[in-house]
Chains A and B, each alone.
Chain A
Amino acid sequence: MTDPVYLDNAATTPLDPRVLEAMLPHLGGRRGNPSSLHAFGDSAREGLEEARAGVASLIGASPGEIVFTSGGTESDDLAVLGLARSAGPDKRHAVVSCVEHAAVREATKRLQSEGFEVSWIGVDEDGLVDPAEFAASLRRDTVLAAVMWANNEVGTVEPVLELADICAAKDVPFHADAVQAAGRVPIDVSETPVSTLALSGHKLYGPQGIGALYVREGVSLEPIVYGGGQEKGLRSGTENVVGIVGLGTAARLAREEMDDRVTHERELRDRIMAGVEEIPDVLVNGHRGRRLSNNVHLTVSGVQAESLVLFLDSLGYAVGSGSACSSGGHKASPVLLAMGLPEREAFSVVRITVGKDNTLEEVDDFLEAFSTAVAQLRELSPLYAG
């Protein structure tokens, strides 16, 4: 059997060999603590600051505005909890979309349990937040607003520029989760007035376990990790130098190669969309135009996603499932439910996300396997009468 084909790049991307190469010296001899005064410390500090500049360059920030964290989740938590907890007692209201990643969603629920009031902003059937509704929900006591740049499940790209402008006009801090968007959508914080913005290494062909939070100059945050005061006191603990160097390199490459990557991904994505849409009762979810270049999100009627994913896995293709079912209870995706998908259909969705290294041949072979798997599972399904 040939090597399996990886089409789940929204879950994690492969590590770019060039990133690995940049990381290796820090795993080997050049091991130091960036806080140390000696030469070993110097070397680590250099790597750290170079990486900070690399990440800043991807989003148009200045290096001093980048805080390294353990990943996207920590970045989101630090932003949401940090913004809310640093504000005065008169700011007890948050505005957050219904389609956020669990990191933002759960951090917001945490705020709720601390007594904050939350306005959850709904989306239309494509997963788009309505700027008018968003604007109307902002209040004098709103401590923060959060809407993701692009959705991790259905790939819809939100009108973040507009939303951030609205917030800036009303002086409300705005957080954007750009974990999926970074490297695929041009992000420039000098044009888009976000207060904070979350990034993750392993969605950018960098390593897992590393992330960054952009914190605009002048924005105040209460840390969630306390200790030696690293990262300007916003993220104590000895830095993950290896990971940081990896993220910095990955970010730099992403900026340099973004146009080519996006063009390539789009070609693959559109080929998959066209192919799967030839199969009856397969529907594309998410916005067609305002969409990540690598995302195909589908409802496959009459088939449970979990079985389809495993079937495809056995044929050598790795794709993502939407909501997993277990007898432990319902876990239909809140994103899909917010978009109005019926609960049963929320268990029939798969997410195919291409990456820079996938090829047209792989996509064509995948389409064949996909149609075989869907046909066989539907043949088995008492609920599909195609």
Chain B
Amino acid sequence: MSDRYRQQVVDHLVRPRNAGELGDPSGRGESGDAACGDVACFTVGISDNVLEQVRYKVYGCAACIAAGSALAELVESKHLLDAASVSKADLQDALGGPLPAGKEHALTLVLDAMHKAFEDHWNRKAGEMLSEAERGRVAGGKSVVAAMSGGVDSAVTALLLKEAGYEVATVTFRLHDGERGSRSCCSPDTVLFARDTAHRMGLPHFTLNLKELFDRRVMQDFVGSYSEGRTPNPCVACNAHVKFHASSFLADELGYHHVATGHYARVEEGPTLARPVDASKDQTYVLWPVPRDLLSRTIFPLGEYRKAQVRAIAEERGLAVAYTPESQDICFIPDGDYRRFVRKKAAAEPGDVVDREGRVLGRHTGVVDFTVGQRRGIGVSAPTPLYVSEVRPRTGQVVVGRKQDLEVREVGIRDLNWFLDPEKAACVQVRYNGSPVPCTVEEADDGRWLASLDEPVIGVAPGQSAVFYTGDGERVVGGGVVVRSDS
């Protein structure tokens, strides 16, 4: 052992405060550190967002035991928002100063256990809600729950709101089991990093476990789409069912009015979505499914900034996140190899590659490997480049054709979410980085809508989003999901 423990540490070790475990807690959290097998467990009794009771147990070194005791003493009878603001530095102060070298992990360990107890509390309160979210209340007032992924955008979002005079509580969602040590969102390290960032800004931090909801609504849909010949957009699915609902739930629980995320978009009267200042980061295309009542309480502070400005703000304010890399396209596939991901979860039967007349040109390894508009990996040689024009999961066929065969002038759309009068829809965007194409839109008999395009577009894939914009191209009128032309 290098340096000695302070008297405060020894005192907490020998006379622990709030030791034990509540019999009927409102939340229980456990955190373990692989390094030496330390385990901390917190049970909390919360009523009206006040931490009426807190008990802790620790298996570990003296630092861990003392940190648990000091934390329990520090937060008992505090409001949840205050307890969730306690930082490692606060805890260190309570222990009389820095712990001996190599023992700093004790602070992280016990804080994490307490935060997991809060997380459990929310999940118990939400019950089915966090697996099937409900709607929030109407917005107003200056308090906001800001979602924090651990990246620079969401950190600056929280910071800008704080500086604008909002009362801010931050939340990080556990969406999937990210690999430890990876910088993918939701990995345990990322949660700790987000918590640190929030605490450095003096903000309370919470976590919510949405794994079940995310798995059903986003990941299963993602895999299922490929099996069914559709091209999924997981961000759209998450915005439709997960992220905004969960943020609103926490806001309701805390009596907060708004929710905020680090998306690049703007909310305008209506409410509707408008393009952000930084057109190159525009995320309106993936935000169309946010329900109107949730959008009306949503703030996107970054809609007014350019990405470079956001990084500069982070740097200026000394946020460590200033230097984090751009996030992945698909957060639950950190290596970007989504074919491999889908193949691990879905059966892939070989089938025929056919042309538009039904002639067999070759074999393929499974429809999950193909998406409309794809040119590579078809495995059939031809004088002109071949593109996937259709995927037929029922017959296992992949239809290929020349580029001009992919052109469409009519797009069928379902599951529409309108912000403005559909008559205002003047153009439609069918790909994330595509540009809107002038169109007219009308409702078909079966609940679908039909967009008639003024000019042909290629590679319109079922499952992707079709988002309608106003005549100036600036505001989202509404959006929906592209359906197969034959369905």
Contact = CB atoms under 8 A, between A and B. Distances in A.
Nearest to B33: A327
A226 interface: no
Instruction: Bin the interface of chain B by size.
Output: 20 to 34
A324 B19 contact: no
A262 interface: no
Contacts of A327: 33, 35-36, 102-105
Contacts of A383: 39, 59
Nearest to B68: A380
A382 B62 contact: no
B58 A382 contact: yes
A380 B58 contact: yes
A373 to B, nearest CB: 9
Interface string A204-234: 0000000000000000000000000000000
Nearest to A344: B37
Nearest to B69: A380
Contacts of A330: 35-36
A328 B64 CA distance: 15
Interface stretch (A26-34, A48-56, A152-160, A307-315): A307-315
B59 A381 contact: yes
A272 B207 CA distance: 48
B320 to A, nearest CB: 19
Interface in A290-317: 302-304, 306-307, 310-311, 313-315
A364 B10 CA distance: 24
Contacts of B10: 310, 313-314
Given A380-B19, A383-B39, A311 B61 contact: no
Nearest to A327: B105
A326 B64 CA distance: 11
A329 B35 contact: yes
B444 interface: no
A347 interface: yes
User: Which of B10, B16, B36 has the largest count of A CB atoms less than 10 A from its CB?
Assistant: B36
Contact of B59 (A304, A324, A343, A376): A304
B266 to A, nearest CB: 44
A375 B5 CA distance: 22
Interface residues of A, number: 28
A344 B14 CA distance: 23
Interface string A326-341: 1111100000000000
A376 B19 CA distance: 10
A94 B102 CA distance: 35
B1 interface: yes
A311 B102 contact: no
A330 B41 CA distance: 22
Contacts of B104: 327
B60 A307 contact: yes
Given A314-B14, A330-B35, A324 B57 contact: no
B363 to A, nearest CB: 51
Contacts of A384: 59
B386 interface: no
Interface of B: 1, 5, 10, 13-14, 16, 19-21, 30, 33, 35-41, 57-62, 64-65, 101-105
7 tightest A-B CB contacts, nearest first:
A326-B102, A325-B36, A382-B41, A382-B57, A327-B105, A383-B59, A306-B61
